[in-house]
Chains A and B, each alone.
Chain A
Amino acid sequence: MTSAARSDPIDSLLTATGARLPGPAGPREDILAELRDGLVEAAEANKRNGMGHGEAVQLALRQFGDARTLAASFWPEMAAAQARRVVLALFATAPIVAALWAFAARSRGSVSESGLFDGGQAHLAPALLVAAAISCGIWTIVATGPAAHLPRIAPQMMLLGAAATGGIAVLADLAVLSMLAVPLAGFPGPIHQLALGAAMLASGTRLILTSRASWSCLAMTTTATH
């Protein structure tokens, strides 16, 4: 029997387990690589105890459990990885989008001269939404990181935290977009129009990606297997 054929039962288990693990590909590949190493080590230990290769592998497979059991046990880790990834992406892109809008506003002259922020409390809603999104995001980061060893926070709550962060961020982006895009569009100049286009493109892309990511977090809560 070739070594490839001998590893088939392990490959089959890992393929079946991976198919049951939703969420980002990187953490899933890491989990499967770690399981492979553990399975091979277990089989080697069984062989050292006098078993033949086939028997040793089969016992290792039984020791590790079936694909359904393994996937269920790793589901919380995938949920945490998904939630953390979404929130970190939101936190990383927010300054970029904000900087593009600031540049677009400045490219037509002084922001104070533009009258963009003279609308009294009109900017209060976006500011509150941004503050709410940041709060939700920080909670999710803490729940999936430093607080991971504290009395258990349900993985579904991590995903809901990320989905809420994304949902509020979408509302905040829409509010900023509606507040800035129309007033700024009225000013001429190629550099200004280019800067405005870049800001709108960035906001639009972020809106689409954030909506998808939030939805994926919500959808993932329904895949919990325990």
Chain B
Amino acid sequence: MRAEAVKGHLDSILLASLEAQPLHGYAIMEAVRAGSRASFDLPTGTVYPALHRLERAGLIRSKWSTVSGRRRRTYELTERGRRRLAEERQSWKQFSRAVSTLLGGAPAGTL
């Protein structure tokens, strides 16, 4: 699936990837790839800047450590990020239910 397809949901996907545990940038890309069963292969130039933007917004925080002699930046959700993820998840459920109903031809009353 092309990166453009997830553009509007990139922040939510990245927040969700950090829900279980802190991860570094490449591990986040791998987690998204594995979690989507290889449907989402997000490019580096999309993921890293988005992580920095989310950190500036206070939704995630990062810590530096040294691994095998090189610096590593690991990200984790903040409390604000967890609340935002819960909101996004709820919003997505409503949206996907509505679209599924429309595309599936189900009666509008089920929305």
Residues on A close to B: CB < 8 A?
Answer: 30-31, 33-38, 40-42, 45, 63-65, 69-70, 72-74, 76-77, 80, 144-149
The answer, among B44, B49, B54, for a CB contact under 8 Å with A38, is B44
Interface of A: prevailing SS: helix
Given contacts A35-B48, A64-B45, A65-B45, 4 further A-B contacts (CB under 8 A): A41-B24, A74-B45, A77-B53, A145-B57
Say yes or no: is B58 at the interface (Cβ < 8 Å to chain A): yes
Assuming the contacts A37-B26, A40-B70, asked whether A77 and B46 have C-beta atoms less than 8 A apart, the reply is no
Across the interface, name the chain B residue whose C-beta is closest to A150: B57
Contact B52 A64 (CB under 8 A): no
Contact B11 A149 (CB under 8 A): yes
Say yes or no: is B106 at the interface (Cβ < 8 Å to chain A): no
The answer, among B43, B49, B59, B71, for a CB contact under 8 Å with A77, is B49
**Number of CB contacts from chain A to chain B under 8 A:** 78
Contact A33 B70 (CB under 8 A): yes
Say yes or no: is B72 at the interface (Cβ < 8 Å to chain A): yes
Among residues 6 to 52 in chain B, which have CB atoms less than 8 Å away from a CB atom of chain A? 11, 24-27, 29-30, 43-46, 48-49, 52
Assuming the contacts A38-B26, A147-B57, asked whether A74 and B49 have C-beta atoms less than 8 A apart, the reply is yes
Assuming the contacts A34-B48, A36-B70, asked whether A41 and B26 have C-beta atoms less than 8 A apart, the reply is yes
In Å, the complex CA distance between A72 and B45 comes to: 8
In Å, the complex CA distance between A38 and B71 comes to: 10
Q: Closest Cβ of chain A: how far from B30's Cβ, in Å?
A: 7
Contact A148 B70 (CB under 8 A): no
Lowest 4 CB-CB distances: which A-B pairs, in order? A73-B45, A149-B57, A41-B26, A148-B56
Contact B71 A70 (CB under 8 A): no
Q: List 27 A-B contacts (CB under 8 A).
A: A31-B48, A34-B72, A34-B73, A35-B44, A35-B48, A36-B71, A37-B70, A37-B71, A37-B73, A38-B25, A41-B24, A45-B26, A63-B44, A64-B45, A65-B43, A69-B45, A70-B44, A73-B44, A74-B45, A77-B49, A77-B53, A80-B56, A144-B56, A146-B57, A147-B57, A148-B56, A149-B57
In Å, the complex CA distance between A208 and B84 comes to: 43
In Å, the complex CA distance between A141 and B26 comes to: 29
In Å, the complex CA distance between A84 and B103 comes to: 45
